[in-house]
Structure 1
Amino acid sequence: MKRSIKIAVAAAIALSATSAFATNGDHLIGMGAKARGMGGIGIGMSHGAESALANPALIGSVKGTEVSFGGTIFMPDVETNLMGAGGVKSDADLSVIPEVAIAQKVSDNFSWGIGMFGTAGMGTDYRDTGMNMNMVTNLQLMQFAVPLAYKTNGFSVGVAPVLQYGSLDIKYKLIGFGGSESTTQGVAQDFGAGYNLGAAYETNGLTVGASYKSSIDMTYKGQIKAATTQFNGLMSTAILSDNLEQPAEMGAGISYKMANNTFAFDYKKIKWGSAKGYKDFGWEDQNVYMFGYQFTQDNWALRAGYNYAKNPIKEQNGATAQGAVNNFFNLLGFPAIVEKHYTVGGSYAFNKMTSLDLAYVYVPETTESYSVAAMNGGTPAAISTKHSQDAVSMQLNFNF
């Protein structure tokens, strides 16, 4: 067991240096291959150790000690056309996102665990295109949590203190638009702390759950403020702070297991509209709806799911300085505009100790076009972005 834990931790640290490009805003639709195979389901259905961040109350379903580690190969396809110059594809088209989870039942009532997940991020890369202002952005977020759960008579509660690591890098060249190359000072990093709360009740195949995730305040010195300051000569109102707070979340879920079939539904609200930084760029709260199905038979399982959340980025008034700058950064640097996610997955148990989970997520193309007229002397002009995604997740589980 100790060897498995060391391998899992080492994998998470090694992979955390790679970028992520997430999908409910800048969040992954789910943590772990089981959840991702079911459209992100995880609030009202236990996935064992994988439940560490989704709903800490549900880790109590493990029977002994469970160690899971794996990752997601994320493949976004982003193309942006700035002011009619022609569509250019971003080179940020491949990321590896790590995940490690450990859960242990200490007694009939008490369980604890450790979770380390790449949870969110996004970015684009136009540095070698000679177009789109050579924009390069990269936001990465990873969370470390220690879930604690207590269960009695089918009712369970859980809490997970969370430590979050984040990094942000923004670069571009404003030459030709009244400015110069951005003066951001390389990658900025920060740590923040928060907590997750969860509760669940299980009876006769029915599980209902609820969860709350606190906001986590992050500051990336020399990034957002420096990036927007470059517009000062053109539009002085565009300067923003370096705060980029990960928003609070609240949700509820329900699942029902009938023989070999499990049907599940989760809902959560992501509070982008009140999060520092995101609200400055005009992001709005996001309602996320998740539908999942699982079929189990002997030592294997099949899963399918659907995840929908409306684009949280509202178009700003591009005839104003602030509106044009927000539209510019949102679509060129942080195009979190996709809405629909179709998922499939499966599991295979090689023996009582070892199993493998797989998941695939397909995101059809979404296109948005926002005004940036104020960047064009008031003459009508737009920025248009197309965004689609594919992702493959794999996870190994060891039970002791």
Structure 2
Amino acid sequence: MKKTIKLALVAALALGATSAFATNGAALIGTGAKSRGMGGTGIGVSHGAESALANPALITSVKGTEISFGGTIFMPNVKSTNALTGVGGPTGSADSDASMSVIPEVSLASKVNDNFYWGIGMWGTGGMGVDYRGQTAQMEMVTNLQLMQFGVPLVYTTNNFSIGITPILQYGSLDINYVPPAAFAAYSAYSKTKGAGVGQDLQFGYNIGLAYEISDLTIGAVYKSQIDMKYKGVMSNTIDLFSSTQAYANDKLSTPAEIGVGASYKFNEHTVALDYKQIQWSKAKGYEDFEWKDQNVYTFGYEYATTTWAARLGYNYSKSPIEKQTYTGVNSAKLSSGVVNTFNLLGFPGVVQSHMTVGGTYNFNSNTSLDAAYTYAPEVSETMTNFAGNDITVKHSQTSLSLQLNYAF
């Protein structure tokens, strides 16, 4: 059974040949076109079947059974300027070729009786990566992290109060490859391309959600567990960077825990939603070694809905979890500040901060509807000191288009 699920998840991930840069660090701002059209809100506002991950307690808005399936075309634009003159290497700028990926999403929610709802779904939830093959100044860096979650939301509701839990099986895939500068050929360990092939893992986690509805006001809260992923041999064989004495033995790269609250208010055709959540990168294995900071994510969403169509707007802001490291020693993982800066900006530059979104729905009839959303994250530029003692600069912006077909019966 576990092997069958893993094969299904791999097949879904295969829809996206390259990895996605997923806005809030390495996590999507939202799963589903309704949520993404409203800036990623979903903790205190229901989006039907697609609420299973954002807040499972809110799938209770379905009247019978609802099925949603679609995906997001994700288009990051990443450019790096890197100088390796400090170690006798070149200086140059290059655009990453990892510029498009497809992130799938399928959700189902059903009402069993007045007190119990359940569902099932499969969602691409995040990832990151670059492709600098053929670019010497970028050390031909290629990284690719992809994450997919399979979950079954279970909800009990009574007297306007709902509690839900979504047990989650997460599949992850990680690949890191690069060619060290020629100046390090003297070390036999660095005389060839660094890489260990693709590492994969399956691990369990859960989301717990609460919701309370009174009149036209909805209040929600959610906790998402940390999921400890281990990609055997991948990080330990590639991040022992640029010194014969440094060692890095950690192959774990955890999906961080999240905690959040949200609220929405509906008046006539209008709905306004606000969410706040904290993504705890600083406690996630792997990310903590690279000094990622916790992110406080603030989200606003607005919807105007009629019986035949709806329009949505949203805004999402979170400060980048990546900060310039300046310490002269090494951290607990025995990585120097220059190594941390190099891998953060060159390999995993999740630095975008603001996101503007628009979206809408067209109802073909009482059973079938189509959702769409467009997201834009303006360019952010970051400059840090790399392992060679020179500057490394990354510029990163994003656009995405989400489409989703819904059927209710």
| TM-score (ref. length: structure 1) | 0.93
1:36 corresponds in structure 2 to 36
CA drift at 1:128: 3.0
Out of 363, 379, 383, the residue aligned to residue 369 of structure 1 is: 383
Q: Match of 1:141, as an amino acid?
A: L
1:107 corresponds in structure 2 to 113
Out of 213, 216, 236, the residue aligned to residue 225 of structure 1 is: 236
SS at match of 2:403: strand
Per-residue CA distance 1:345-365 (angstroms, 9 max, x = gap): 000010111100000000000
SS at match of 1:229: coil
2:282 corresponds in structure 1 to 273
Per-residue CA distance 1:251-308 (angstroms, 9 max, x = gap): 0000000001001100000000011000000101100000000001121000000000
Task: Please give the alpha-carbon distance, in whole angstroms, between the structure 1 residues aligned to 2:318 and 2:324.
Answer: 17
CA drift at 1:177: 4.1
Matches within 5 A, 1:72-221: 72-83=72-83, 85-178=91-184, 179-221=190-232
Task: Please give the alpha-carbon distance, in whole angstroms, between the structure 2 residues aligned to 1:9 and 1:231.
Answer: 36
Task: Please give the alpha-carbon distance, in whole angstroms, between the structure 2 residues aligned to 1:222 and 1:292.
Answer: 42
CA drift at 1:60: 1.1
Task: Please give the alpha-carbon distance, in whole angstroms, between the structure 2 residues aligned to 1:126 and 1:42.
Answer: 36
Q: Match of 2:219, as an amino acid?
A: V
Q: Which runs of 4+ in 1 moved over 6 A?
A: 8-11
| Cα distance, 1:348–1:11 mapped onto 2, change above 3 Å | farther
Task: Please say if 1:46 is aligned against 2:46.
Answer: yes
Matches within 5 A, 1:320-331: 320=329, 322-331=336-345
Q: Match of 2:141, as an amino acid?
A: M
CA drift at 1:10: 11
The answer to whether the Cα contact below 8 Å between 1:55 and 1:211 also exists between their aligned partners in 2 is: yes
Task: Please give the alpha-carbon distance, in whole angstroms, between the structure 1 residues aligned to 2:9 and 2:304.
Answer: 31
SS at match of 2:352: coil
| Cα distance, 1:61–1:193 mapped onto 2, change above 3 Å | same
2:316 corresponds in structure 1 to 307
CA drift at 1:231: 2.5
CA drift at 1:21: 1.9
1:335 corresponds in structure 2 to 349
CA drift at 1:129: 3.1
Out of 326, 348, 359, the residue aligned to residue 362 of structure 2 is: 348
Task: Please give the alpha-carbon distance, in whole angstroms, between the structure 1 residues aligned to 2:103 and 2:353.
Answer: 20
Task: Please give the alpha-carbon distance, in whole angstroms, between the structure 2 residues aligned to 1:390 and 1:171.
Answer: 26
Per-residue CA distance 1:328-354 (angstroms, 9 max, x = gap): 110001000000000000000101111
| Cα distance, 1:12–1:352 mapped onto 2, change above 3 Å | farther
CA drift at 1:40: 0.3
CA drift at 1:232: 3.4
Q: Match of 1:334, as an amino acid?
A: F
SS at match of 1:347: strand
SS at match of 1:232: coil
Task: Please give the alpha-carbon distance, in whole angstroms, between the structure 1 residues aligned to 2:63 and 2:11.
Answer: 25
CA drift at 1:16: 6.0
SS at match of 1:247: coil
The answer to whether the Cα contact below 8 Å between 1:367 and 1:384 also exists between their aligned partners in 2 is: yes
The answer to whether the Cα contact below 8 Å between 1:11 and 1:98 also exists between their aligned partners in 2 is: no
Task: Please give the alpha-carbon distance, in whole angstroms, between the structure 2 residues aligned to 1:285 and 1:40.
Answer: 18
| TM-score (ref. length: structure 2) | 0.91
CA drift at 1:71: 0.3
Task: Please give the alpha-carbon distance, in whole angstroms, between the structure 2 residues aligned to 1:186 and 1:30.
Answer: 30
Matches within 5 A, 1:258-269: 258-269=267-278
CA drift at 1:115: 1.8
Q: Match of 2:233, as an amino acid?
A: G
Per-residue CA distance 1:220-239 (angstroms, 9 max, x = gap): 11111111125232xx3352
CA drift at 1:22: 0.6
**Structure 1, unaligned stretches of length 5 or more?**
1-7
CA drift at 1:153: 1.4
| Cα distance, 1:199–1:297 mapped onto 2, change above 3 Å | same
Q: Match of 1:79, as an amino acid?
A: K
CA drift at 1:61: 1.0
The answer to whether the Cα contact below 8 Å between 2:17 and 2:101 also exists between their aligned partners in 1 is: no
Per-residue CA distance 1:229-250 (angstroms, 9 max, x = gap): 25232xx335241111111000
**Structure 2, unaligned stretches of length 5 or more?**
1-7, 85-90, 185-189, 330-334
Task: Please give the alpha-carbon distance, in whole angstroms, between the structure 1 residues aligned to 2:175 and 2:207.
Answer: 27
1:359 corresponds in structure 2 to 373
Q: Match of 2:358, as an amino acid?
A: V
The answer to whether the Cα contact below 8 Å between 1:16 and 1:142 also exists between their aligned partners in 2 is: no
Task: Please say if 1:285 is aligned against 2:294.
Answer: yes
2:87 corresponds in structure 1 to none
SS at match of 1:280: coil
Per-residue CA distance 1:15-68 (angstroms, 9 max, x = gap): 266532211010000010000000000000000000010101011110001000
SS at match of 2:349: coil
The answer to whether the Cα contact below 8 Å between 1:42 and 1:266 also exists between their aligned partners in 2 is: yes
Deviates most, 13-22 or 223-232: 13-22
1:3 corresponds in structure 2 to none
SS at match of 2:271: strand
Q: Match of 1:60, as an amino acid?
A: T
SS at match of 1:335: coil
The answer to whether the Cα contact below 8 Å between 2:42 and 2:51 also exists between their aligned partners in 1 is: yes
